[in-house]
């Protein structure tokens, strides 16, 4: 149990390499840098191999997870939160620095360290003449460290640390040639789009942890499979969808895939490692890890499948007409990731993981091979200026040809088994509900075969279209680059046999190994079994002739695609024209410009575009609503104020002139007016007053006498 | 000889009273007005004394003494007003005391 108990060493080896580079890298010689950085990854790989072997002894086929908690990172300690979650257990919101090993992470561990090791060896040769050598390897080691943290984490929080870390390393490595504006822009774009996904991820992870009472995967899986939660539970659905948003960002699905093609600005080993084999599979890993939750949210699963299928066909359509060799491979990666999510979405988790596994090998192979081509052509990346390289760089040609056959799904190579499994699952899952997705998948397979064939034939066949100086310098890559290519080619051929399905006589070791992770014994899946039995399509027990038919169909499609590409491109001369460009120029323009999605995002989200003075997109809506608020709403408020003041003025006038004037002063004025004649009697003469008194008295007297 | 009855006294008092009133109303000199007021008061005195003789008691005479005292006080006050007025206006012409008018 030595290796299992020291599983935390696996991420620490490359972390040590990165730290060495950080502190001492500048002063070291290139040889030392190579030795340290490649050495730590080799150590990590060997350690990982022994660990997995120990794990198989530990688990004895039951697939029980091995957990090693190193220390409590975020803990409620002794002051427990008294939160009782739905199934009555006391919730403890602890996030440990803990490592979990179960069949799923075993697979990821092996191919991440393995392919990582191969690519590090390759980079020694590829980056030999570049500046910033120690920086490159430091970042690569940092990437390996964070990726391993992501894979081995036992809870969502530590996984998120790794998640962010690989995003950071992606930024650092894409922008490796930072003095090139396009590279630094691409790096920023990658990080920002990734971050949008991360927002979804963290919301989903927190919602899930709150709802199920813990961050740890073991607890979450137990809670989800306990049967307390109904299928289609709204909180779980929303949490699953949010997690999928995170996966879209990291694994380049619609709508957050736009960073991946631009990420080709980084050096080719970076594209191979991060954007083909490892980082982009982190999204798939996370969804597979959360499969217990996704299974309880059929809406989320459908969304995953549909978006996966759409992404696959969308990216493949763009790859048909791209000229940069790395762009074609980038869109191919997006498309294949779409396949993986399609598999996860229809419930074929093991098939999706299998495709991740095989894809890592042949995509890394293709990228490294393209790096070798670029190296041979002194930096030329445009396929319009390649051609007739198969005799000049034979090893590269042969290995890339193997890679092309693998991705096209030709039998005998790895891609066939995994892709075919996905298509079969898409056809048969849930009684054929996903047939349309199968159709999209098969169309994508045709396009995949075609564009990969195009890539190979334009690069290696036909007339040489490069400039003469470049042609003179064409040379095969050094051993440090070609040996990894050969290793990956061998893996691309043989890795598939691990998942040889029943229908072809194999035992599907891969699927069996993963079975406990995807919990077929859970009550949820139990409910599906009778339905599947009734429909006669329980895929593990017996194989139907439909499966063979579909298999044959996909083989035919793959061969047809390659043949078609051969007939179109294998004899391409200096001025070859794309057939789509000839026959349907508007379609060509749309595909070549990537369906104008980047421009669309620019218009809608960045707010840089204006029509006259009016800003477009979301920012424009913000400006419009702020205009509305400032002018219309505040204008209304101001108008109300004006009305109030007008009424006040009116009221003042009324008060001053009518009330005071008529009401108050009126009688006064009236009195004064009436006093004028009355005043005439006031002469001030006393004798006159006395006379008037006497007259009055006499009047009274006369009145009484006459009475 | 006609016997002198109370009526004769009353007539004389009335005549004196009317003379006094006319004097108050028509004379310009303030002093003369004051003298006329005295005349009125004395006429009233005479009236009261006549009635006292008629009724055979002293009520009228007592009241006449009161009135005499009152007349004396009033004359003093009146003269005081006169003197004050003269100091202000340098004249004793009643027609010129017309400040309290509009």
Contact (CB, 8 A) for A290 and A230: no
Nearest CA in chain A to B99: A684
Q: How far apart are CA A556 and CA A647, in angstroms?
A: 85
Is the confidence at residue A243, as pLDDT, over 90? yes
For the ranges A42-56, A59-73, A447-461, A627-641, which has the lowest average pLDDT?
A59-73
DSSP-derived secondary structure for B37-94: HHHHHHHHHHHHHHHHHHHTSSHHHHHHHHHHHHHHHHHHHHHHHHHHHHHHHS--BG
Residues 36-95 of B with CB under 8 A from A: 94-95
How far, in Å, CA of A510 to CA of A498, rounded?
Answer: 5
Q: Can you tell me which residue has the tokens 């890559």?
A: A477
Q: Which residues contact A520 (CB under 8 A, 6 or more apart)?
A: none
Spatial distance between the Cα atoms of A587 and A602, rounded to a whole number of angstroms: 22
Q: Do A687 and B102 touch (CB under 8 A)?
A: no
Summarize the confidence of residues A688-699 as an average pLDDT: 90
Coil, strand or helix: which one is B33? helix
Which strand (E) or helix (H) includes residue A610? strand A610-611
Kindly determine whether residue B99 and residue A684, on different chains, have CB atoms separated by under 8 Å: yes
- Continuous segment of H or E residues that includes residue A64: none
Contact B101 A683 (CB under 8 A): yes
| Better-predicted residue by pLDDT, A54 or A514 | A54
Given a contact cutoff of 8 angstroms between Cβ atoms, the answer to whether A361 and A414 are in contact is yes
Q: Using CA atoms, how far apart are residues A60 and B3, in angstroms rounded to an integer? A: 171
pLDDT value, residue A534? 42
Q: Answer whether residue A388 shows pLDDT above 50.
A: yes
**C-alpha dihedral (A374, A173, A165, A218), degrees to nearest 10:** 0
Can you tell me the distance from the alpha carbon of A443 to that of A524, in angstroms, rounded to the nearest whole number? 32
Q: How confident is the model at residue A527 (pLDDT cuts 50, 70, 90)?
A: very low
Among B21, B94, B100, the residue with its CB nearest the CB of A694 is: B21
Cβ A308 vs Cβ A340: under 8 Å: yes
Q: How many CB atoms lie within 10 A of CB B90?
A: 9
Q: Which residue of chain A is at minimal alpha-carbon distance from B23?
A: A687
Give the max Cα distance, chain B: 58
Distance between terminal CA atoms of chain B?
Answer: 58
Q: Which of A301, A325, A305, A302 is nearest to A313 (CA)?
A: A305
For residue A428, what pLDDT is reported?
A: 78
Chain A residue at shortest CA distance from B34: A687
**How far is Cα B27 from Cα B94, in angstroms, rounded to an integer?**
8
d(CA A82, CA A92): 8
**Residues of chain A contacting B21 with CB distance shorter than 8 Å:** 694
- Supply the pTM of this predicted model: 0.75
Task: Supply the pLDDT for residue A520.
Answer: 47
Residue A480 falls in which region: left (phi positive, over 0), alpha (psi -120 to 50) or beta: alpha
Report the alpha-carbon distance of residue A305 to residue A347 in Å, rounded.
9
pLDDT score at A508 = 66
Distance from CA of A655 to the nearest CA of B (A): 32
- Cα–Cα distance, A222 to A509 (Å, whole number): 25
Alpha carbon distance A577, B70 (integer Å): 145
In chain A, residues with a C-beta closer than 8 Å to the C-beta of B94 are 685-687
pLDDT at A432: 63
B25/A contact by beta carbon, under 8 A: yes
Which of A679, A683, A691 lies at the smallest CB-CB distance from B98? A683
Dihedral of CA A462/A463/A469/A471: which sign? positive
User: CA–CA separation, B19 vs A73, rounded Å?
Assistant: 130
pLDDT at A332 over 90: yes
C-alpha to C-alpha distances, A574 to A109, A373, A462, A606, nearest whole angstrom: 45, 18, 9, 40
- Report chain B's C-alpha Rg in angstroms: 17
The interface pTM score, or ipTM, of the predicted complex is 0.82
pLDDT at A95: 78
Unique residue bearing structure tokens 């004249």: B91
On whether the CB atoms of residues A250 and A146 are closer than 8 A, the answer is no
Chain A hits for B100, CB-CB cut-off 8 Å, are: 682, 684
CA dihedral B41, B46, B51, B56 (to 10 degrees): 120
Which among A675, A685, A688 is the top mutation candidate for probing chain B, defined by the most B β-carbons within 10 Å of its own β-carbon? A685
Best CA proximity match to A284, nearest among A221, A214, A340: A340
Tell me the per-residue pLDDT of A269-321, one tens digit each, with 9 for 90 and over: 998 988 777 888 899 999 988 888 888 888 899 899 999 999 999 999 999 88
Strands A614-615 and A66-74: unpaired
Segment A477-490, tens digit of pLDDT:
888 888 889 999 88
Q: Does A691 touch chain B (CB under 8 A)?
A: yes
Considering only the beta carbons, identify the residue of B25, B95, B100 that sits closest to A694.
B25
Query: With contacts defined as CB-CB under 8 Å, which chain B residues touch A691?
Result: 25
Give the model's confidence band at A92: pLDDT under 50 very low, under 70 low, under 90 confident, else very high. low
Asked whether A147 and A273 are in contact (CB, 8 A), the reply is: no
Shortest Cα distance, chain B CAs vs residue A675, angstroms: 10
How far is the C-alpha of A455 from the C-alpha of A469, rounded, in Å? 23
Answer whether B29 touches A (CB < 8 Å).
no
Q: Residue range A519-545: average pLDDT?
A: 46
Q: What is the pLDDT of residues A4-53, one digit of tens each?
A: 888 889 999 999 999 998 998 888 888 888 899 999 999 999 999 999 88
The per-residue pLDDT for A526 is: 40
Q: How many CB atoms lie within 10 A of CB A646?
A: 10
CA distance A465 to A441: 34
pLDDT for the residue numbered A537? 39
Instruction: State the pLDDT at residue A46.
Output: 93
Q: Model confidence over A577-590: pLDDT tens digits? A: 777 777 888 888 88
Q: Is the pLDDT of residue B43 over 70?
A: yes
A683, closest residue in chain B (CA to CA): B101
**A1 lies within 8 A of chain B by CB:** no
Neighbour tally for A448: CB within 10 Å? 29
Of residues A504, A496, A489, A252, the one with CA closest to residue A354? A496
Alpha-carbon distance values, A470 to A71, A132, B8, B26 (Å): 56, 25, 168, 148
Question: Could you give the CA distance from residue A539 to residue A556 in angstroms, rounded to a whole number?
Answer: 23
Which residues of B fall within a CB distance of 8 Å from A684?
97-101
* pLDDT the model gives residue A538: 41
pLDDT tens profile B57-81:
999 999 999 999 999 999 999 999 9
**Which residue from A684, A687, A691 is facing B100, i.e. has the nearest CB?**
A684
Q: Return phi, psi of residue A434, to 5°.
A: -105, 25
For chain A, give the percent of residues with pLDDT over 70.
Answer: 91
pLDDT score for A430: 66
| A694/B contact by beta carbon, under 8 A | yes
pLDDT of residue A280: 84
Provide the token pair at A9.
């060493």
Beta-bridge partner residues of A382: A324
Which positions ≥6 away from A261 have C-beta within 8 Å? Answer: A327, A330, A331, A334, A594
pLDDT of residue A530: 44
| pLDDT category of residue A76 using cuts at 50, 70 and 90 | low
- Closest approach of A692 to chain B, Cα-based (Å): 10
Query: Does the distance separating the beta carbons of A685 and B21 come in below 8 Å?
Result: no
Contacts of A438 (CB under 8 A, 6+ apart): A423, A426, A427
Residues of B in contact with A679 (CB under 8 A): 101-102
Picking from A371, A397, A151, the residue whose alpha carbon sits closest to that of residue A268 is: A371
Task: Identify the residue among B25, B34, B85, B92 best suited for mutation to test binding to A, counting A beta carbons within 10 A and taking the highest.
Answer: B25
The confidence band for A502, taking pLDDT boundaries of 50, 70 and 90, is: low
């Amino acid at each position: 149990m030595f290796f299992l108990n020291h599983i935390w060493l696996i991420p620490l080896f490359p972390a040590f390499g990165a730290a060495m580079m950080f502190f001492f890298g500048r002063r070291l010689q290139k040889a030392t840098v190579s030795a340290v950085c490649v050495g730590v990854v080799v150590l990590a790989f060997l350690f990982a191999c022994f660990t997995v072997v120990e794990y198989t002894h530990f688990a004895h086929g039951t697939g029980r997870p091995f957990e090693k908690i190193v220390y409590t990172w975020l803990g409620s300690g002794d002051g427990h939160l008294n939160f009782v979650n739905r199934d009555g257990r006391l919730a403890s919101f602890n996030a440990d620095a803990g490592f979990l090993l179960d069949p799923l992470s075993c697979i990821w561990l092996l191919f991440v360290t393995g392919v990582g090791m191969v690519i590090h060896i390759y980079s020694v040769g590829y980056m030999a003449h570049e500046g910033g050598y120690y920086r490159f390897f430091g970042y690569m080691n940092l990437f390996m460290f964070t990726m391993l943290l992501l894979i081995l984490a036992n809870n969502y929080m530590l996984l998120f640390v790794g998640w962010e870390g690989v995003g950071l390393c992606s930024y650092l490595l894409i922008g490796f040639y930072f003095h090139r504006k396009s590279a630094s822009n691409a790096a920023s774009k990658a990080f920002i789009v990734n971050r949008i996904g991360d927002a979804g991820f963290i919301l989903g992870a927190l919602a899930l942890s709150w709802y199920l009472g813990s961050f740890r995967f073991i607890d979450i899986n137990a809670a989800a499979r306990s049967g307390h939660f109904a299928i289609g539970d709204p909180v779980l659905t929303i949490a699953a969808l949010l997690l999928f948003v995170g996966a879209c960002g990291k694994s380049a699905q619609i709508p957050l895939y736009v960073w991946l093609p631009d990420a080709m600005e980084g050096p080719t080993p970076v594209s191979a490692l991060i954007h083909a084999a490892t980082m982009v599979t982190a999204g798939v890993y996370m969804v597979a890890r959360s499969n217990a939750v996704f299974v309880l949210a059929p809406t989320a699963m459908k969304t995953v499948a549909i978006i996966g299928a759409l992404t696959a066909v969308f990216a493949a359509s763009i790859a048909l007409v791209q000229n940069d060799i790395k762009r074609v491979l980038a869109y191919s990666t997006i498309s294949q990731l779409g396949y993986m999510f399609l598999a996860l979405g229809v419930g074929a988790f093991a098939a999706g993981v299998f495709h991740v596994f095989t894809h890592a090998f042949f995509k890394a192979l293709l990228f490294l091979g393209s790096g070798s081509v670029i190296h041979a052509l002194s930096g030329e990346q445009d396929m319009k200026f390649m051609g007739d390289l198969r005799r000049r760089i034979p090893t590269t040609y042969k290995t890339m040809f193997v890679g092309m056959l693998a991705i096209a799904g030709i039998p005998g190579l790895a891609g066939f088994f995994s892709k075919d499994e996905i298509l079969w699952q898409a056809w048969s899952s849930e009684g054929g509900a996903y047939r349309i997705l199968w159709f999209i998948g098969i169309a994508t397979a045709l396009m995949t075969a075609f564009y990969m064939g195009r890539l190979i034939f334009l690069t290696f066949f036909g007339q040489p279209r490069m400039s003469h100086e470049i042609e003179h310098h064409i040379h095969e890559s050094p051993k440090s680059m070609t040996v990894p290519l050969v290793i990956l080619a061998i893996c691309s051929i043989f890795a598939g046999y691990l998942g040889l399905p029943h229908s072809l006589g194999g035992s599907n070791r891969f699927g069996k190994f993963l079975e406990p992770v995807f919990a077929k014994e859970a009550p949820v899946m139990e409910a599906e079994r009778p339905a599947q039995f009734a429909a006669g399509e329980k895929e593990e027990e017996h194989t139907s002739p439909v499966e063979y038919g579909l298999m044959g169909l996909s083989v035919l499609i793959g061969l047809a695609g390659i043949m078609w590409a051969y007939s179109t491109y294998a004899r391409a001369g200096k001025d070859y024209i794309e057939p789509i460009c000839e026959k349907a120029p508007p379609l060509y323009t749309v595909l070549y410009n990537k369906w104008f999605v980047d421009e669309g995002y620019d218009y809608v989200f960045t707010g840089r575009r204006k029509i006259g003075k009016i800003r477009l997109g979301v920012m424009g809506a913000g400006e419009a609503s702020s205009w509305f608020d400032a002018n219309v709403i505040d204008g209304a408020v101001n108008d109300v104020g004006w009305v109030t003041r007008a009424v006040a003025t009116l009221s003042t006038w009324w008060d001053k002139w009518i009330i005071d004037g008529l009401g108050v002063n009126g009688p006064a004025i009236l009195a004064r007016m009436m006093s004028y004649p009355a005043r005439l009697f006031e002469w001030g003469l006393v004798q006159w007053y006395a006379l008037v008194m006497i007259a009055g008295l006499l009047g009274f007297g006369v009145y009484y006498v006459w009475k | 000889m006609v016997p002198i009855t109370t009526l004769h006294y009353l007539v004389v008092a009335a005549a004196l009273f009317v003379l006094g009133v006319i004097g108050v109303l028509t004379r310009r000199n303030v002093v003369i007005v004051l003298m006329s007021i005295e005349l009125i008061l004395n006429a009233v005195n005479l009236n009261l004394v006549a009635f006292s003789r008629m009724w055979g008691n002293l009520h009228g005479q007592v009241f006449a003494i009161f009135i005499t005292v009152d007349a004396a006080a009033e004359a003093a006050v009146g003269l005081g007003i006169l003197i004050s007025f003269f100091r202000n206006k340098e004249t004793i012409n009643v027609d010129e005391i017309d400040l309290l008018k509009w």
